[in-house]
Amino acid sequence: MPNAICTGAIVAASLVPLHAAHGCASTTGAAGHSPGAHDESGVAAPLAIIDAHTHTHFDGAPERTSKIPVTKEQYLKEWRQAGVVGAVSHTSETGEGYVDELRAKNVIFCAGIGPNVDAGGLEEGLKSGKFGCIKVYLGYVHRWAYDAAYEPVYALAEKYDVPVVFHTGDTYSIRGKLKYADPLTIDEVAVDHPKVTFVIAHAGNPWIQSAAEVAYKNPNVYLDGSALLIGDLGKRPRETVDRYVVQPISWIFGYLEDPSKLMFGTDWPLTDIASYVDAFKRAIPKEHWRAVFHDNAARVFKFKR
């Protein structure tokens, strides 16, 4: 039973960091790693980071909120600045955002699923290795995660052993319908498809408690903590970043009681990578940085390097 329940109540909306307040069990576990490898001199090497949630539709224009130039050059520049060694990129249903040359840079692409599910095209992309994961745009597509239309998608995910990522929570469009993006609906899918790995993107924000519970309960469900706050975080007051990124991520990490369940992600270009790394680091105990920033995504998405 989660600590928040065994103490008698769900943590209040103030989102007190649970790794400081939780009292029933430790957050240490088999997935806890040192924050970085060490070289022969014993000096800690820089933290290697996998960004588990990005978009690479390079149109050259500034992103409308963050104002980040959406170019390949900017993307890779931010990798170098933040210590990123790999990333997951989500494509649209028409394939926008797929950049073949980035596969050599250690980018794994998710095949986007829109209103019209093309199982044949999806299988072709999975079989060829073009795609290493699947993205279902709940909320943007007005359909429940457990709708029968997605059953061929889950069958292919199981066949090719690739994870399915769900958009959950707030949508970046007024045409999105939020009821379909409620992370609690992922519980039904996870129970019915126990051999498929599922990722709840954005940790269901603002419904982080539901998302955390679904991941806590189901061994085949993981969270990415991307885009809890968007824009240039470096220009935001520190207390704003703490309230809307650091404290929620800290609460989620504590509630899960399993360092292997949470992955770092940004949703680039909605926010810059370096400032989001900084906020995430403030939320996660240092001894679990390597798990959250690298090893969990490497395992879930099967990065080879």
For residue 82, pLDDT beyond 50: yes
* Residue 73 half-sphere exposure toward CB, CA atoms < 13 A: 3
> Sheet of 49-54: strands edge to edge?
49-54, 84-90, 107-113, 133-136, 164-166, 198-200, 221-224, 262-263
Which residue is associated with the tokens 């093309």?
Answer: 118
pLDDT score at 42: 54
For residue 30, pLDDT beyond 50: no
Q: Read off the pLDDT of each residue in 12-40 and give the average, rounded to a whole number.
A: 40
* Residue 51 half-sphere exposure toward CB, CA atoms < 13 A: 31
The structural architecture, per CATH, of the domain 47-300 is: Alpha-Beta Barrel (3.20)
pLDDT score at 45: 73
Which residue is associated with the tokens 């899918």?
Answer: 189
Q: What are phi and psi of 109, to 5 degrees?
A: -100, 135
d(CA 57, CA 99): 8
d(CA 148, CA 123): 18
* Token digits of residue 286: 């240092």
For residue 304, pLDDT beyond 60: yes
State the pLDDT confidence band at 44, using cuts at 50, 70 and 90: low
SS3 104: helix
Q: Read off the pLDDT of each residue in 244-259 and give the average, rounded to a whole number.
A: 98
**pLDDT single digits (tens) 213-239:** 999 999 999 999 999 999 999 999 999
For residue 12, pLDDT beyond 50: no
pLDDT score at 220: 98
d(CA 168, CA 266): 14
Domain boundaries, given as residue ranges, for the chain: 47-300
d(CA 297, CA 292): 8
Report the 10 Å Cβ neighbour count for 38: 10
d(CA 19, CA 66): 30
**pLDDT single digits (tens) 127-185:** 999 999 999 999 999 999 999 999 999 999 999 999 999 999 999 999 999 999 999 99
The answer to whether residues 272 and 235 touch, using CB atoms and an 8 Å cutoff, is: no
- The percent of residues above 90 in pLDDT, for the chain, comes to 84
Residues 6+ apart with CB under 8 A from 138: 144, 145, 166, 167, 168, 180, 181, 185
d(CA 14, CA 182): 21
d(CA 50, CA 265): 8
For residue 91, pLDDT beyond 90: yes
User: How does the average pLDDT of the chain come out, rounded?
Assistant: 89
